[in-house]
Homo-oligomer: A and B are copies of this chain.
Amino acid sequence: MTCGETLVAELRRKGFRVTPQRSVILETIAHKSGHISVHEVYLEARERLPGLNVATIYRTLESLQKAGMIDLLASDTDVARFSLRDAHNPHTHLVCRECNQILEVGTDVIARSAREVERDTGFVIDIDHLTLVGLCKACAAAERSMPHR
C-alpha cells in the first residue's frame, strides 16, 4: 500500500495544487485501499474535515484520474467505484453480480488472452484495470442449488 504522503507529493509533482481537502481525500483512499465508492470516501473524509463537500470529492477524483493515480471500475451494478492505481500490483477485478463483492486476481491469467485479442483485432485491452462480471464461488453454488426466477 502506498502511503498518503507519497501520494500527496506525486500529486504536486504532476502540477496539481495540494489543499487540505485533497490531502485528506487522498489519505482516505490510501487508507481504505479497496474498491471504494464516492460516498464511502465522503463519510470517512468528512470526519477529519467536517465542512467537506461531496462536490469537492467528485472534483478531486476527477483530478486524481487525470493525474493517473486512480482507476474507475466499469460495472453496471451499484454506484461508481474506483481504486488507487498501484503499479506494483496490477490486478483484474472480479465483480459478483449477485452480492457485488469484488475479488482480485493477478493480470497474468488474463494476459495471454489479451495479447491474442490484440493480435487479432488491434484492440488494446486495459489489462491493468480490467473488470469481469460473474458469480463468486458462494453465489455460483447458491445458483446451482436454487430454482431460477
Contacts and interface: CB of A to CB of B under 8 A. Distances in A.
A47 interface: no
A74 B134 contact: no
Nearest to A115: B109
A120 B116 CA distance: 21
Given A122-B137, A137-B123, A109 B113 contact: yes
Contact of A120 (B105, B113, B126): B105
Contacts of A96: 123
Q: A interface, how many residues as a size bin? A: 35 or more
Interface string A87-108: 0000000111100000101000
Interface in A11-41: 15
Given A73-B76, A76-B80, A123 B149 contact: no
25 contacts: A68-B148, A72-B76, A73-B76, A74-B75, A74-B95, A75-B76, A94-B121, A94-B125, A96-B123, A105-B120, A105-B123, A109-B117, A109-B120, A110-B113, A112-B112, A122-B137, A123-B134, A123-B140, A124-B140, A126-B133, A126-B135, A127-B134, A130-B133, A131-B131, A131-B133
